[in-house]
Amino acid sequence: MIEITDLTKQFAGHTAVDGVSLHVGQGETLVLLGTSGCGKTTTLKMINRLIEPTSGSIRVDGIDVRQQFGPEFRRRIGYVIQDGGLFPHYTVAEAIATVPKLLGWEADAILERTRELMAKLQLPETILSRYPGELSGGQRQRIGLARALAAKPPVVLMDEPFGALDPFTRRHVRRELFGLNELRETTVVLVTHDVNEALELADRIALMDKGRIIQIGPPDDLLNQPATDFVREFLDDKPHRLHD
């Protein structure tokens, strides 16, 4: 579904992403895991061309992303960011309708799809006329996802989607959302620095450091056969007391 070859991005002399190659299969969930500044978010944003690569190629569904008009292309790819990235001046209903409207859907179809998503996400329809400021963090996150899924994109990109939630809510929302059939059929690329989140959600994990992929594979592979000490240490997320 997504084919990345030798992707590089340089910002003013500093290389953020350095020769990354990977592929993501249909319906697969790939987690880009790593410390802050390791290049995982930059990699993600190059997939939907929010950032233009310095070199290398990205193909989505067999077509080079650079051959497409950015905004139109992005409408076919779901995008979720921390805290939902909702517009403060859009109601919940308007937020969910954003992409379908950009795509020129009929009002009826938009309404039907909105209802469907609200039901799936177990959100009461009474909040449709509310503004993001009037929602809880968990609700905002769900609406953010509903907005990304509204136009039934084959690919969804998520950038630290649960980063703004407390650990308890985060676990809860995450399980609930990834339990949806709708998301299971979709190709997902998710960026996180949370090891547990990666282990729980990923079909495969790509662990990145300093712009390179250190190891890529199913969670078990990374846990059982770490390629380097860095991988072992990174995944060894158990709490350690200092000086024991």
Partner 1 sequence: MTDFFLFVRDHADKLLEQTLTHIGLTFLSLLVALLIGVPLGILIARRQRLAGGVLGVAGVLQTVPSVALLGFLIPVLGIGVGPALVALFLYALLPIIRNTYVGITEVSPSVKEAARGLGMTPNQVLTRVEFPLALPVIFAGIRTATVINVGVATLAAYVAAGGLGEFIFSGIALSNVSMMLAGAIPAALLAVGFDFGLARLQQLSGRKLRVGALTFVVMVPFISAFYLLPGRQDKLIAGFAHEFYGRADGYPGLQKTYGLQLQPRLIDQNLMYEAIHREQVDIISGYSTDGRIKAFDLLVLDDNRHAFPPYAAAPVIRKVTLNRYPDLELTLNKLAGKLTDSVMTALNYRVDYQKESPEKVAREFLNQAGLHKQGVHSTGLKPGAGKSSERTETVVVGTKVFTEQYILAEVYRQLIEGQTDLRVVTKTGLGGTQICFDALRTGTIDFYPEYTGTGLLVILQPPAKTLQKLPMQTDSVYQFVQQQFRARYQMDWLKPLGFNNSYCLMMRREQAQQLGIRSIEDLVRYLGIN
Q: Which positions lie near partner 1, rule CB under 8 A? A: 48, 50, 71-77, 79, 81-89, 98-99, 102, 131, 147-148, 157
State the nearest-atom distance from the C-beta of 82 to partner 1, in Å.
Answer: 7
Comparison of 83 and 203: residue with beta carbon closer to partner 1: 83
Write down the least CB distance from residue 237 to partner 1, Å. 27
**Given the complex with partner 1, which of 155 and 216 has the nearer CB atom?**
155
CA distance 190 to 205: 10
Furthest-apart CA atoms within the chain: distance in Å: 64
Work out the angle between the directed axes of helices 137-149 and 107-120 (0-180°, nearest 10).
130
Q: Which is nearer to partner 1, 160 or 209 (CB)?
A: 160
Which of 190, 108, 122, 185 is closest to 153 using CA atoms?
A: 185
Nearer to partner 1, 72 or 236 (CB): 72
State the nearest-atom distance from the C-beta of 161 to partner 1, in Å.
12
Least separation in angstroms between residue 101's CB and partner 1 is: 10
Are the C-beta atoms of residues 142 and 82 closer than 8 Å to each other? no
